[in-house]
Amino acid sequence: MRILIKKFLSQLGLGLLLVGLVACKPTSQAGDFFATDITGVDFGHNLILTDHHGNQRSLSDFKGKVVALLFGYTHCPDVCPTSMVDLKHTRKLLGARANELQVIFVTVDPERDTQQVLAAYVPAFDAGFIGLRGSMEETATVLKDFKIFAAKVENKGRSGYTIDHSAGIYVFDKTGQVRLYVDYGSKPSEIAADIEKLL
pLDDT at position 129? 98
Higher-confidence residue of 190 and 47: namely 190
What's the CA gap between 173 and 192, in Å, rounded? 13
DSSP notation for 45-73: TT-EEEETTS-EEEGGGGTTSEEEEEEE-
Terminal Cα-to-Cα distance of the chain (whole angstroms): 33
**CATH of segment(s) 5-198:** 3.40.30.10
Q: What was the pLDDT predicted at 31?
A: 65
* Domain boundaries of the chain, sorted by first residue: 5-198
| Residue pLDDT, tens place only, 65-76 | 999 999 999 999
Residue 42 confidence class, pLDDT cut points 50, 70, 90: confident
Quick: pLDDT tens for 18-33: 333 333 434 434 569 9
| 90-113 pLDDT tens trace | 999 999 999 999 999 999 999 999
Beta strand 130-133 pairing with 48-51: antiparallel
**Does residue 193 sit in helix, strand or coil?**
helix
Confidence of residue 184 (pLDDT cuts 50, 70, 90): very high
**Confidence (pLDDT) at 156:** 72
Q: Is the pLDDT of residue 3 over 70?
A: no
Task: Identify the H or E element spanning 152.
Answer: strand 150-154
Q: Answer for the pair 174, 64: CB distance below 8 angstroms, yes or no.
A: yes
Alpha-carbon distance of 40 to 194, in angstroms, equals 17
- List the beta bridge partners of residue 180: 37, 171
